[in-house]
């Protein structure tokens, strides 16, 4: 077993957010991400995300470097023979545009990257399920500079690995979890002929299942947890914001947020909550305390009930949710856009992402964790015509009494959530 070695000193843990498109990448940086991970059109594990074409990848790197931030490109499929025909050219291109690192899980992809993109750092994906310090040492010897540890590890196990490891360690702290071991799932391939390990998971584990016994048709038994443990269906979402101080004290280099297929509201809300948490943990890991406003942000995005996963396995907390539906109290009202139209002086432009009507209260999110509210009493289309309703993906103009900025996210309470409040008061 490898002996403890001195760790490389870190000034501050990195906050790593998802960037499924150029727009989301910009939003992640606006709301505080130090780095973003994204994918090209091929070789990533989120085939249903927008993903970036070659020009967009170059633009992503340019934007990040102008801001002093980083972009990591996922090349984390479990590759088949056919994938190696195009992979070398793709890796050469990623090195040419100056990507900050590759994220891989397949040893063959790693060997190919070392040959065709030797100037790029390579990070190891959680898909490689690294669960011990000897494994970290092995990957270090293969040229890996950072390891994203398996999500199955407990806090005590991460602590021991951190003491015995020299290269950077990364952990997921928030987002959806796959209930298969380190994400190595075959359900999607079996049920839908779409391979999760090739980037095309259809998330059949999220469907509603019941058990039927052959001789008792029509009698459905729910799939639940018992005293022996948790089964593979209906995972809760990971949320470790309360544990950032403890994780920072271990010297974890990067805190990673899941969600390349999530929307702008999720990205802005979760990133700004964890930005403030990481900053506080970096100042004083021992005295770390979570703020209610951070938890409020995390509750106001679409999510399943939260869990701390495997971090504290004896806490008695179930990792499966008792319902299949998501919790969603708020929705994305729209994104602020630059105003270039004539006669729009003093007004802001917003691209709507939900149906807006007069009287709706809209909350504009600022990166520092504060919000400004605006009651939508009047608004107009881009030709200056007054309108009383705007459907999604439409540009509108209206006046507010506070400054805004392009790509700023605005949210509002969902109608059914407001209705439930009114019914409770009646």
Residue 249 inside a domain? The answer is yes
| Whether residue 82 sits in one domain with residue 29 | yes
**Both tokens assigned to 231:** 């089964």
| Whether residue 58 sits in one domain with residue 108 | yes
Provide the CATH number for the domain around residue 378: 2.40.30.10
The residue behind tokens 């809209």 is 362
Residue 215 inside a domain? The answer is no
- Residue 35, pLDDT > 70, answer yes
| Whether residue 340 sits in one domain with residue 294 | no
Percent of the chain with pLDDT over 90: 65
Neighbours of 388 (CB within 10 A): 10
Number of domains in the chain: 2
| Whether residue 294 sits in one domain with residue 158 | yes
Domain of residue 41: give its range.
14-185+233-307
| Whether residue 48 sits in one domain with residue 125 | yes
> Residue 204: exposed, middle, or buried by beta-carbon count in 10 A (0-12, 13-18, 19+)?
middle
Residue 42 inside a domain? The answer is yes
Model confidence pLDDT, tens digit, residues 56-98 = 999 999 999 999 999 999 998 888 899 999 999 999 999 999 9
Provide the CATH number for the domain around residue 109: 3.20.20.380
SS3 label, residue 242: helix
Model confidence pLDDT, tens digit, residues 115-151 = 999 999 999 999 899 999 999 999 999 999 999 999 8
Select from 307, 322, 348 the last residue of a domain: 307
Lowest-confidence pick of 43-47, 285-289, 371-375, 393-397 = 43-47
| Whether residue 338 sits in one domain with residue 292 | no
Model confidence pLDDT, tens digit, residues 345-363 = 679 999 999 999 999 999 9
Residue 211 inside a domain? The answer is no
CA torsion, points 347, 350, 354, 356, in degrees to nearest 10?
A: 10
Residue 316 inside a domain? The answer is no
pLDDT number for residue 217: 78
Phi-psi region of 325 (alpha: psi -120 to 50; beta: other; left: phi over 0): beta
**Distance between CA atoms of 61 and 101, rounded to whole angstroms?**
11
Residue 319 inside a domain? The answer is no
pLDDT number for residue 214: 73
Cα 6 to chain centroid distance, Å, stands at 31
| Whether residue 167 sits in one domain with residue 79 | yes
| Whether residue 385 sits in one domain with residue 268 | no
Name the phi and psi angles at 170, rounded to 5.
-130, 140
| Whether residue 264 sits in one domain with residue 335 | no
Residues near 127 by Cβ (< 8 Å), separated by ≥ 6?
Answer: 45, 76, 78, 105, 182, 183, 184, 197
| Whether residue 344 sits in one domain with residue 256 | no
pLDDT number for residue 198: 52
| Whether residue 335 sits in one domain with residue 302 | no
Residue 227 inside a domain? The answer is no
| Whether residue 299 sits in one domain with residue 377 | no
Which has more confidence, 201 or 342?
201
């Amino acid at each position: 077993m490898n002996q403890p070695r001195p760790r490389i000193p870190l000034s501050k843990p990195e906050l790593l957010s998802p960037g499924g498109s150029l727009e989301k990448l910009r939003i992640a940086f606006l709301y505080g991400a130090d780095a973003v991970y994204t994918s090209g059109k091929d070789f990533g594990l989120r085939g249903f995300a927008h993903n970036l074409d070659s020009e967009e990848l170059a633009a992503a790197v340019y934007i990040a470097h102008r801001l002093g931030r980083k972009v990591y490109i996922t090349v984390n499929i479990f590759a088949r023979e056919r994938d190696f025909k195009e992979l070398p050219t793709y890796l050469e291109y990623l090195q040419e545009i100056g990507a900050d690192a590759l994220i891989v899980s397949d040893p063959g992809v790693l060997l190919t990257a070392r040959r065709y993109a030797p100037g790029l750092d390579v990070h190891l994906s959680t898909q490689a399920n690294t669960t011990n310090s000897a494994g970290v040492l092995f990957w270090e010897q293969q040229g890996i500079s950072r390891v994203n540890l398996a999500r199955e590890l407990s806090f005590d196990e991460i602590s021991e690995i951190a003491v015995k490891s020299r290269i950077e360690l990364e952990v997921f702290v928030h987002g959806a979890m796959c209930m298969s071991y380190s994400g190595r799932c075959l359900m999607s391939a079996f049920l839908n002929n779409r391979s999760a390990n090739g980037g095309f998971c259809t998330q059949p584990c999220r469907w509603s299942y019941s058990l039927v016994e052959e001789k008792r048709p029509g009698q459905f038994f729910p799939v639940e947890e018992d005293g022996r443990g948790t089964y593979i269906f209906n995972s809760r979402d990971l949320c470790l914001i309360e544990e950032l101080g403890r994780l920072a004290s271990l010297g974890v280099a990067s805190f990673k947020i899941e969600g390349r297929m999530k929307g702008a509201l999720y990205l802005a809300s979760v990133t700004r909550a964890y930005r403030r948490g990481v900053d506080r943990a970096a100042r004083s890991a021992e005295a770390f305390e979570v703020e209610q406003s951070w938890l409020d942000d995390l509750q106001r995005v679409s999510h399943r009930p939260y869990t701390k996963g495997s971090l504290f396995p004896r806490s008695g907390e179930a990792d499966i949710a008792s319902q299949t539906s998501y919790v969603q109290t708020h929705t994305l009202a729209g994104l602020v856009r630059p105003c270039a139209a004539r006669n729009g002086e003093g007004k802001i432009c917003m691209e709507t992402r939900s149906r807006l009507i007069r009287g709706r209260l809209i909350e504009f999110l600022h990166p520092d964790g504060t919000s400004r509210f605006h009651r939508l009493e009047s608004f107009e289309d881009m030709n200056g015509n007054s309108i009383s309703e705007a459907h999604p993906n439409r540009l509108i103009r209206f006046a507010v009494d506070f400054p805004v900025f392009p790509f700023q996210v605005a949210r509002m309470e969902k109608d059914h959530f407001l209705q439930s409040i009114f019914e409770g008061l009646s």
